[in-house]
């Protein structure tokens, strides 16, 4: 804030005049008007304050958003949301593929170490092979998230 | 804002209906070209969607929105300064005597924006918030993270500069606003 006890130079007076113009500086002591009575330059600034609103800001205050802008904003927002969703999907898919690969490795080790009959081991290995292929070629198969679900279901079934 | 944070796109339409005008006018005051102001307005609402979750519901929404708009316009302004100055120079040259510039002269809004473009981005920001949005000094201070005294002095310097610009233009027509040259901060 301005120090009201400071001697009033022209720059300081114009700062206060500008604030008074905005209703933010009441100048109860009338110091500004006394200065204006003897300073033509600051009086010119005060007159200019009044005219700036009309000359510069009135046309801008009347400016309305162009027709159709609301629709264009909605359309861009929808496109941005779709893009974000696709990016999100890719992230989930990569995570699922990583988890599935880790699980495949784990199951593979378990199978080799298990004492299950050769026939069961063979069918489980076949399923692991299919799932691995699906992970390696995601475009030809259901999404890896589905492969992961199938794998979990099969593994759960095998434990019963 | 809570609705928007939950991803309800319809909330964006409602917010635009309520605040689109103020965002556009503020952008129009800070960016000289109407297409830039429109683009900035779109970006503000996209950012709104993007950052909806970051909004602190205890804060005042319009302060947040003004800040978002001003910052975006300041960034855009810096990137486009060179291009805009070239455009303004061409416009001013045309006003000097080319009769084909009549259409541009008729566009008061464009001329007002071009005058504001002569100011620094900081001066444009305080003037636009005050004159176009009618914010109090305290609200401008909160929006721009400035002390109230800085807002007060910055507004005065901005007005001195703007009055001088208007005076220079008027001098080529009916006579200048006789304003003294003063130091600007």
Average the pLDDT over B75-89 and give the result.
Answer: 54
- pLDDT for residue B32 is more than 60: yes
Interval A26-47: pLDDT, tens = 988 889 999 999 999 999 999 9
CB contact under 8 A, A51 and B177: yes
Give the pLDDT band of residue A138 (cuts 50, 70, 90). Answer: low
- pLDDT for residue A137 is more than 60: no
- The residue of B131, B136, B166, B169 whose CB has the most chain A CBs within 10 angstroms, and thus the best one to mutate to test that interface, is B131
| CA B45 – CA A13 distance, rounded (Å) | 40
Q: Which of B18, B60, B4, B63 is nearest to A77 (CA)?
A: B4
pLDDT at B31: 87
| CA A4 – CA B7 distance, rounded (Å) | 51
**Looking at chain B from residue 100 to 139, which residues have their Cβ under 8 Å from any Cβ of chain A?**
108-109, 111-113, 115-116, 130-132, 136-137
A81 touches chain B (CB under 8 A): yes
Q: Which of B34, B31, B2 is nearest to B15 (CA)?
A: B2
Q: Residue B32 in contact with residue B128, Cβ under 8 Å?
A: no
A93 touches chain B (CB under 8 A): no
Q: Is the pTM of this model over 0.80?
A: no
Residue with tokens 């995570």: A95
- CA-based torsion, A144, A150, A154, A160: positive or negative: positive
User: Which helix (H) or strand (E) is A157 found in, with range?
Assistant: helix A144-159
pLDDT at B139: 95
Interval B121-148: pLDDT, tens = 999 999 999 999 999 999 999 999 999 9
Phi, psi of B163, deg, nearest 5: -60, -40
Average the pLDDT over B89-108 and give the result.
Answer: 46
CB contact under 8 A, A69 and B116: no
């Amino acid at each position: 804030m301005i120090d009201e006890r400071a001697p009033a130079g022209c720059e300081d007076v114009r700062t206060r005049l500008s604030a008074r113009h905005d209703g933010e500086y009441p100048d109860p002591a009338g110091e500004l008007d006394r200065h204006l009575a003897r300073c033509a330059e600051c009086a010119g600034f005060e007159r200019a304050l009044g005219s700036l609103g009309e000359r510069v800001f009135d046309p801008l205050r009347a400016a309305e958003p162009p027709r159709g802008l609301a629709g264009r904003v909605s359309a861009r927002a929808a496109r941005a949301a779709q893009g974000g969703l696709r990016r999100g999907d890719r992230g989930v898919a990569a995570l699922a593929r990583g988890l599935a690969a880790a699980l495949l490795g784990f199951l593979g080790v378990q199978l080799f170490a298990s004492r299950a009959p050769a026939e069961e081991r063979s069918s489980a290995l076949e399923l692991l092979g299919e799932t691995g292929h699906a992970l390696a070629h995601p475009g030809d198969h259901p999404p890896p998230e589905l492969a992961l679900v199938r794998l979990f279901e099969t593994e759960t079934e095998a434990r019963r | 804002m809570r609705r928007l944070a939950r991803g309800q796109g319809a909330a964006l339409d409602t917010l635009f209906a309520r605040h689109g005008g103020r965002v556009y006018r503020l952008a129009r005051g800070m960016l000289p070209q109407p297409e830039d102001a429109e683009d900035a307005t779109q970006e503000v609402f996209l950012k709104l969607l993007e950052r909806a979750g970051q909004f602190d519901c205890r804060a005042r929404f319009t302060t947040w929105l003004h800040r978002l708009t001003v910052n975006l316009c300041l960034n855009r302004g810096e990137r486009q300064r060179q291009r805009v100055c070239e455009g303004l120079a061409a416009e001013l040259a045309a006003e000097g005597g080319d009769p084909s510039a009549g259409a541009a002269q008729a566009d008061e809004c464009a001329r007002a924006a071009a005058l504001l473009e002569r100011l620094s981005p900081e001066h444009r920001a305080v003037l636009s918030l005050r004159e176009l949005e009618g914010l109090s000094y305290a609200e401008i201070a909160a929006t721009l993270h400035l002390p109230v005294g800085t807002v007060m002095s910055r507004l005065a310097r901005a007005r001195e500069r703007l009055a001088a610009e208007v005076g220079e233009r008027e001098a080529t027509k009916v006579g200048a606003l006789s304003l003294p040259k003063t130091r600007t901060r």
